[in-house]
Amino acid sequence: MTLSRVIQLLSISTCVLAGVQELWWNVTYVANANPDGLYERQVVGVNGTWPPPPISVDNSDSLLIHLTNSLDQPTTLHNHGMFFNSTSWMDGTLGVSQCGIPPGQTFDYLVPINSSGQWGTYWTHAHASGQYVDGLRTPLVLHPAQETYQYDEEFTVILGDWYHEQHSVLLEWYLSIANPGGAEPVPDSGLIYFAQNSTYLPPIPGTSPSLVTSAVGFNENSTLPFLPGKTYRLRVINTSALSTFYFWIDGHSMRIIEADGTDVEEYPVDALDLAVAQRYSVLVDARNDTSSNWMIHANMDPSMFDHVPSTLNLNLTSSITYAEGESITDLGTISEYADFNDTLLVPTVVVPQPTATTTINLEFLFDTMNDGTNHAMINGVVYNPPLVPAMLSELTLGSNATVQEAYGPYSYILEHLDVVDIVVKNLDTNHHPFHLHGHKFQIVNRAAVSDSNDTTLNPPLVEGQANPMRRDTTVIPGGGSVTLRVVADNPGAWIFHCHIEWHLEAGLAVQFIEAPLQAQERAAGKVPSYMYDQCAALGNPYSGNAAGHASTTDLSGLPLGPYQQQMGWFPKGILAMTGCVISAVIGMITVVWYSMGEGDSDAEIEEETRRRLAAKAQRRKLFGMFKRRG
């Protein structure tokens, strides 16, 4: 990396006194990984190892990741939950912030943590071609100079579902006519493992894990070491593609103190309910005796599974160790899972609810489309990544960047500093975790049944809330809705999507084009030129509208559809049916007329017969004039 390139990147960061934590990551395939002990498979790792190293950063520093792509397809890296402060080309979302890193090339991701005012629990993962499902995912923890709560030690708990087949193979089936009902691929197993700052915890001594992943303890081969009387912070992250997890520890109580990077007043819970991409921190007080070790439970919720294979263990376990060699107390599973209402959490930093200036209504559902596949739609539109990443369109369209239609039918313009209510109605029967890039939203209303007249199920939005909960990923229940209030104070292009990876691939997303003219001003001289070169290397356009044209209306060539099947009568069908009815009526009239008439005379019939025989003889004579070739 050249010195000039480093200087250009660091000039984006506003705090010249901040430090820079640099990581050099080479994204590679890693063969024969077997974290669940059930099946060896190829995964996507970093520097020839898997899992990728956990990231721990002081929030007074910037994070600079030099990412080299040694895969055989484009890749990206998204630091989930980071604001990026008007530099959304660093967001790492394929088709929104960049074209992707071509094989053999490098992208330098600068995360200006020092100027974002963020701390807490996040994660880093690929945002291209489902590569995080194949393993490119890891914790990202930001440490402030002074934590809100005091504790003796902390650990990060990583949860995730796990597939034995490659994502690309599963996706091909999922979006095929062989799966018209849209049943998501069911995971083969689940994983629980632990980290502390930038290091994974090893396996329990005496166990024999698979060689490739032998440095990390997984599931029953993992444990958390506790000392009596100590208080521990556990940062719990769900890195799944599909599965919600329920997490609890036998014999120990938990108190939530953080959700998605927002510190909250202590809230006691028996179990954590974590949808895909959600994070919670809990305080756990160790017991005062060492006579027993205790079971940790992480159970996958099967409600989203089309079926539960007999080979799938839904109930993952690990342990708290007070004394090696002591038995593990297992109090068993729980009979019923309770959904957690995150609006009950109260942020410790008070931000009153601002007054909304505009509303965007979004309704989504899944259906079998006109090509026989099953896809998702928001306001009737299936999301397909544009040919030109939305961020590059925003920077190259000039004054036309404010025209919403230029970005494709799944795009919405947000004016600078607008206070936007995003009202999302779930017309599906399942719950969906939605994530907004570049922002935290306030959850200002939630309905269990969005079309109910019962105010206990569909309460009215209350204005003037003193301090509504803020986070970046929230669950929208089946048949329900949420209202998310967000201030458009971060110019750029940001995707809003369901974080179930299969649903994103099925089109469950929209993109917000925020403050285009301000984005152009703030980006001047800061966008690395190699971004455009990498688009060109992949054969992608990198300027103009979503289809690569210098126009606000010409979107020819833009990938669109498939489209929802239209039930009822189409014009061609109506015309065809009309023709059939008319023919049938004429036929019936003819039959009736013949039955009522006297018919032909015998002389007329004989004359007609002679005419047909003469015509037949003439045709035979003509046929004999042509000789068959031997």
pLDDT at 627: 34
CATH number of 149-349: 2.60.40.420, 2.30.130.30, 2.60.120.260, 2.70.50.60? 2.60.40.420
> Rounded distance, CA 601 to CA 613, Å?
19
pLDDT at 611: 59
pLDDT at 14: 45
Tokens (6 digits) for 472: 């970046």
Q: Name the amino acid, one letter, at 394.
A: E
Is 74:103 a contact under the CB 8 Å cutoff?
yes
How many CB atoms lie under 10 A from the CB of residue 539? 8
Residue 457 pLDDT exceeds 50: yes
CA distances from 530 to 65, 387, 485 (A): 16, 18, 36
- Single out the residue of 320, 324, 326, 319 nearest to residue 291, CA to CA: 326
Please give the share of the chain, as a percent, with pLDDT higher than 90: 85
pLDDT at 296: 98
Which residues have a Cβ under 8 Å from the Cβ of 466 and sit 6 or more positions away?
350, 352, 353
Class of 16-146 per CATH? mainly beta
Evaluated on CA atoms 113, 118, 122, 125, the torsion sign reads negative
What is the dihedral angle through the alpha carbons of 101, 95, 158, 143, rounded to the nearest 10 degrees? 80
Outline which parts of the chain fall under CATH 2.60.40.420: 16-146, 149-349, 358-538
Residue 10 pLDDT exceeds 60: no
Per residue, what are the HEC states of 538-551? CCCCCCCCCCCCCC
Q: Dump pLDDT digits (tens) for 91-140.
A: 999 999 999 999 999 999 999 999 999 999 999 999 999 999 999 999 99
How many CB atoms lie under 10 A from the CB of residue 200? 22
Please give the share of the chain, as a percent, with pLDDT higher than 70: 87
pLDDT at 577: 53
Question: Is the preceding omega at residue 516 within 30 degrees of 0, hence cis?
Answer: no
pTM for the whole structure: 0.89
Q: Dump pLDDT digits (tens) for 299-355.
A: 999 999 999 999 999 999 999 999 999 999 999 988 889 889 999 999 999 999 999
> Rounded distance, CA 343 to CA 262, Å?
13
Is 404:513 a contact under the CB 8 Å cutoff?
yes
Q: Dump pLDDT digits (tens) for 49-78.
A: 999 999 999 999 999 999 999 999 999 999
**41 φ, ψ to 5°?**
-150, 160
Is 377:367 a contact under the CB 8 Å cutoff?
yes
Is 391:480 a contact under the CB 8 Å cutoff?
no
pLDDT at 604: 55
Residue 605 pLDDT exceeds 50: no
Query: β-strands 199-200, 78-80: how paired?
Result: unpaired
> Rounded distance, CA 503 to CA 383, Å?
10
Is 124:137 a contact under the CB 8 Å cutoff?
yes
Average pLDDT over residues 563-592: 62
> Rounded distance, CA 246 to CA 426, Å?
22
Residue 612 pLDDT exceeds 70: no
DSSP state of 592: H
Q: Given strand 358-368, what is the order of strands in its sheet?
A: 374-378, 358-368, 419-426, 481-487, 441-447, 470-471
Helix (H, G, I), strand (E, B) or coil at 93: coil
Please give the CATH topology (third level) of the domain spanning 358-538: Immunoglobulin-like (2.60.40)
